[in-house]
Amino acid sequence: MSTTENGAAEVLPPRDVPLGGPRAMTVRRTLPQRGRTLIGAWCFVDHYGPDDVATTGGMDVAPHPHIGLQTVSWLFSGEIEHRDSLGVHAFVRPGELNLMTAGHGIAHSETSTAATTVLHGVQLWVALPDAHRHTARDFHHHVPAPVPLPGGGEARVFLGTLAGDTSPVPTFTPLLGAELTLPAGATTTLDVDPTFEHGLLVDQGDVHFAGTPLHPADLGHLPPGRTTLTLTNTSPTPARLILLGGPPFGEDIVMWWNFIGRTGEEIVRARLDWEKGARFGEVQGYPGDRLPAPELPNVTLKARGNHD
């Protein structure tokens, strides 16, 4: 992690992480990091592809549990089949939001479909605030229309409000989530909520984020206080970006495996419930066994947050 001076962005570089158990695919993770746990309520940013599934095998994540969070699935190419213990059977397609609320507990599986040749997208998590983290499981699907950006390019606003468009999908804290595309050489200045901190994930292109250079797979972070964000595509080809935002979360969280809690004891209970087959429900239609929980570390799980 590096921080530049004079109000420029903090740059969070990616690290490679295997995802999905024995048939793991590799993803690039930029959040959480040792020095930054959250951006708003966004607590997890995985970026993957473009993967030729004929070579990599694609995505095959067997049924697994979640508590205390929402999952946000967003694709640039390919197709993923989603099944969960709420009974939802849905497909994640490019430009379409699938948001799943775990609350007290849910299980789901994610598998790239036979029609997928190249898999490319992001998987994001949102931490639920303490008052709502035991809410009932839920699922929302939304297809945002593209809206023009000043200076060229367009946005697809899947959560919150940006560039005159507002997503109808409800959230438990104020949030912003949008895919942005900028033509080669374009600069856009966006009006934003000054109470929000913002993160910008670069999928394609080289971009200046409030004057700070970001490269593909980098995540830039800016603290609250700005009423506008200026983005410049300095590359000779179009840039594609994911803009995230929200007010600082203000709560410390414990993150382990697929769980978000407030204490280590809560995580231990959730793991035991999964191993016992309690609490999370059943995922119907997945052709295989569910993922076993990994062993807990031999240290006390501690809560972490941002204390800038």
Q: Is the pLDDT of residue 24 over 70?
A: no
Structure confidence by residue, pLDDT tens digits, 57-92: 889 999 999 999 999 999 999 999 999 999 999 999
Q: For Cα atoms 265, 270, 271, give the angle at the middle one, nearest 5 degrees.
A: 100
Per the model's pLDDT, the better-predicted residue between 1 and 46 turns out to be 46
Q: Is the CB of residue 234 less than 8 Å from the CB of residue 208?
A: yes
pLDDT range class, residue 1, cuts 50, 70, 90: very low
Q: Is the pLDDT of residue 136 over 70?
A: yes
Mean pLDDT across 22-29? 74
Structure confidence by residue, pLDDT tens digits, 154-169: 999 999 999 999 999 9
Q: Is the pLDDT of residue 129 over 70?
A: yes
Q: Is the pLDDT of residue 2 over 90?
A: no
pLDDT range class, residue 23, cuts 50, 70, 90: low
pLDDT range class, residue 26, cuts 50, 70, 90: confident
Q: Is the pLDDT of residue 261 over 90?
A: yes
Structure confidence by residue, pLDDT tens digits, 171-208: 999 999 999 999 999 999 999 999 999 999 999 999 99
Q: How far is CA 155 from the centre of its chain?
A: 17
Lowest mean pLDDT among 123-127, 212-216, 271-275, 298-302: 298-302
Radius of gyration (Cα) for the chain, nearest Å? Answer: 19
pLDDT range class, residue 12, cuts 50, 70, 90: very high
Instruction: Look up the pTM and report it.
Output: 0.95
Report d(CA 256, CA 268) in Å as an integer.
10
